Structure 1
Amino acid sequence: MPDPIYTLTDAALSLDGNAGPVEILRSISFEVHKGESLGLIGPSGSGKSSLLMLMGGLERPTGGRVTALGHDLGDMSEDALARFRRAHMGVVFQSFHLIPTMTALENVATPLELAADPDAYDKARAELDVVGLAHRADHYPAQMSGGEQQRVALARAAAPRPAILLADEPTGNLDGANGAAIIDLLFGLRDRHGATLILVTHSTTLANRCDRIIRLSDGQIDPMEQAAQ
Structure 2
Amino acid sequence: MSDPVLSLNNAALSLDGNAGQVDILHGITLEIGKGETVGLVGPSGSGKSSLLMIMGGLERATGGTVMALGQDLTAMNEDALARFRRDHMGVVFQSFHLIPTMTALENVATPLELAGARDAFDRAEAELEAVGLAHRSGHYPSQMSGGEQQRVALARALVTRPDILLADEPTGNLDGANGQAIMDLLFALRDRHGATLVLVTHAPDLAARCDRVIRLADGRIEPPVKAAAE
TM-score, length-normalised on structure 1?
0.97
* Cα deviation 1:1-59 (Å, max 9, x = unaligned): 54000110010000001221100000100100000000000000000000000001011
- The residue number in structure 1 matching 2:114 is 114
1:30-41 equivalences in 2 (<5 Å): 30-41=30-41
Q: 1:227 to 1:22 in 2, by over 3 A?
A: farther
String of CA shifts for 1:123-149, please: whole Å, max 9, x gaps: 000000000000000000000000000
Equivalent position of 2:79 in the other structure: 79
User: 3-state SS of the aligned residue for 1:26?
Assistant: strand
Q: CA deviation at 1:204?
A: 1.8
Q: Please tell me the residue identity of whatever aligns with 2:124.
A: A
The 3-state SS of whatever aligns with 1:225 is: coil
Partner of 1:11: 11
1:153 Cα deviation from its structure 2 partner:
0.3
* Unpaired segments ≥5 residues, structure 1: none
Partner of 2:92: 92
Q: Which residue type is aligned with residue 210 of structure 1?
A: C
In structure 2, the residue matched to 1:124 is: 124
1:69 CA displacement: 0.5
Aligned match of 2:220: 220
Specify the code of the residue in structure 1 equivalent to 2:105.
L
SS of the equivalent of 2:135 reads: helix
- Partner of 1:79, secondary structure, is helix
Q: What are the equivalent positions in structure 2 for 1:43-58 lying under 5 Å apart? A: 43-58=43-58
Assess, with a 3 A threshold, how the Cα gap between structure 1 residues 10 and 226 changes in structure 2: closer, same or farther.
farther
Report the TM-score, using the length of structure 2 for normalisation.
Answer: 0.97
Cα deviation for residue 227 of structure 1 reads 7.9
Aligned residue runs from structure 1 range 181-220, under 5 A: 181-220=181-220
- Deviation track 1:54-104 (CA, whole Å, cap 9, x = no partner) reads 001011111111100011111000000000000000000000100000000
> 2: distance between equivalents of 1:60 and 1:111?
22
Report the equivalent of 2:155: 155
How much has 1:205 moved relative to structure 2? 1.5
In the alignment, the residues of structure 1 paired with residue 194 and residue 3 of structure 2 have an alpha-carbon distance, to the nearest angstrom, of 16
The alignment partner of 2:170 has SS state of coil
Equivalent-residue separation in structure 2 for 1:153 and 1:79 (angstroms) = 23
Question: Partners in 1 of 2:58 and 2:111 — Cα distance?
Answer: 17
Name the aligned partner's letter for residue 10 of structure 1.
N
Report deviation, 1:168: 0.1
What residue number does 2:133 align with? 133
Matched residues, percent identical?
Answer: 75
Aligned-residue RMSD, C-alpha: 1.2
Task: Name the residue aligned to 1:165.
Answer: 165
| Secondary structure, counterpart of 2:67 in structure 1 | strand
Code of the residue aligned with 1:61 in structure 2: it is: A
Shift of residue 226, structure 1, vs aligned partner: 8.1
Cα deviation for residue 225 of structure 1 reads: 2.2
Partner of 1:60: 60
Letter in 1 for 2:224: E
Aligned residues: 227
Structure 2 stretches lacking a partner, 5+ long: none
